[in-house]
Amino acid sequence: MTKKILLSFPQKAAGQPMAMELIKTYHLDFNILKAFIDDNIKGTLLLEIKGEEADIEAGIVYLRQHQIGVRDIESVVEVDPDKCVSCGACTAVCAVGALEMTADWSLIHHDDKCLECMLCVKACPMRAIHALI
């Protein structure tokens, strides 16, 4: 199976060879989609991992044991339903249809379609779309 996960490394976990462990011990393939490290040496890594379901789960347990935050995600953007007014401005820039108006003119976010261009974050007048990395 394939899964997208967002890892957050606290300062003390940065510098450990986590990726090697995932490959060697848990037989996981992964593709680094995005990586970011801030001024406080806290890191964020968006991975698409491939492997047996049991191996993926065990790998995630291993990461968590090493104080690495793991979050399952489909898309790197989140729409805050309290701020969104369903104006539709974000749909103007979403060429892949991940952000779309429903038949009753509510905004719907098909997060599996998102290609992470992040243009919707800028397009949202309510600043209701938040990028996770």
Partner 1 sequence: MAKSYQEINEKIARGEAVVVTAEEVIGIVKERGVKEAADYVDVVTTATFGPMCSSGAFLNFGHSDPPIRMGEISMNGVDAYGGLAAVDTYLGATQPSADKGIEYGGAHVIHDLIAGKEVHLVAKSQGTDCYPRTELDTWVKLEDLNEAYLFNPRNVYQNYNAAINGSSQRLYTYMGILQPNMGNITYSTAGELSPLLNDPLLKTIGMGTRIFFGGAQGHVSWMGTQFNTACPRDEKGYPQTPGATLALIGNMKEMDPKYIRGAVYEGYGTSMFVGVGIPIPILNEEIMAFVAVENKDLYTNVIDYSVPKKAKPVLKKVSYAELRSGSVDINGKNIRTSPLSSLKMAREIAEELNNWIKKGEFFLQEPIQSFPMGNSLKGLEIKEGESR
The reply on whether position 105 binds partner 1 by CB under 8 A is yes
**Burial status of residue 72 (CB atoms within 10 A of its CB: 0-12, 13-18, 19 or more):** exposed
Among 2, 31, 106, 115, binds partner 1 (CB under 8 A): 106
58 versus 123: smaller Cβ distance to partner 1: 123
| Binding window for partner 1 (CB under 8 A); candidates: 13-21, 22-30, 63-71, 83-91 | 83-91
Shortest spacing between CB 100 and partner 1, in angstroms: 9
The reply on whether position 130 binds partner 1 by CB under 8 A is no
32 versus 95: smaller Cβ distance to partner 1: 95
Whole-angstrom distance, CA of residue 10 vs CA of residue 21: 18
Alpha helices per DSSP H over 7-128: 18-24, 53-65, 119-123
Phi-psi region of 132 (alpha: psi -120 to 50; beta: other; left: phi over 0): alpha
Tokens coding 76: 């790197």
28 versus 90: smaller Cβ distance to partner 1: 90
